[in-house]
Amino acid sequence: MLGIGEKHELPTILLIDDDLVSREVIATVLTLHGHFVHSAEDGNEALRMLEAGTVKPSVVLLDTQLPGLCGPELITKLRQLGQDEIILISGSPPAGDLIAAADGFLLKPFGPEDLHKLLNQHKPKIEQVATDSDEDDVVNPSTLAQFRQLMTEATVREIYAAVVSDLQKRLAALESAINTGDREEIRRIGHAIKGGCGMAGAMQVARLGAFFESKSDQLDNCADALQELYSATRKLERMLEREFPA
């Protein structure tokens, strides 16, 4: 849970997202913009927090692809606990029934201004946010500049170090999934990479994550893309060393 710099006129947020990088980046950015943010890594944890009364959020940001309890069933339980502002977040547009059950949708990567706009207008429910980054950028310069305005250099470095560390773990899991032909695992890992790295502005690896998510049945192409992902991760590591020397 993060709570630095909160401005109490802004809504308190419960963020439910199983991806560590995506969760940490979203929580950090929203906190630094004045929100008080609680976070949970799955639906059951969020429900326990709400039932215990340890959190009283005005808005729930809900990732659309959680392990275990998720989707319309989770939204129903959140409604029963008094949550009347549930915003979906995802790297891909969700199904129509899920959109209908929620109060809005933000496409990762999104910023605080996108959330504020959606909360202010409330309708329409779908709010897709496009990125204006150059496809050749390892990290979106606008995202990096925004982070540097909001945080210390040490905190920004920690974010990108966490992205690199997470990618290294996912690379090994992705390689194993490709070797065993586990298409669903390839898709799941790709979705996580796309969402988390997109929020951090790591656009090269985010685009590769999107490829694995949408092309998980093309094992030969996935094997080729895996080598590109290794290369993109190394580029991100070099950026980290160059921009934030230890």
CATH number of 69's domain: 3.40.50.2300
Binned at pLDDT 50, 70 and 90, residue 19 comes out as very high
114 and 49 fall within a common domain:
yes
Number of domains in the chain: 2
The predicted model scores a pTM of: 0.65
Closest by Cα among 215, 217, 203 to 138: 203
Contact present, 39 and 65 (Cβ < 8 Å): no
pLDDT of residue 75: 92
DSSP letter at 126 equals E
Range(s) of the domain holding residue 177: 141-243
Instruction: Indicate if 121 and 19 belong to the same structural domain.
Output: yes
What length is written for the chain?
Answer: 246
CB contact burial 95-132 (16+ within 10 A = b; e otherwise)? eeebbebbbbbbbbbbbbeebeebbeeeeebebebebe
Structure confidence by residue, pLDDT tens digits, 123-171: 433 333 333 333 346 888 888 888 888 889 999 999 999 999 999 999 9
Identify the helix (H) or strand (E) that includes residue 61.
Answer: strand 59-63
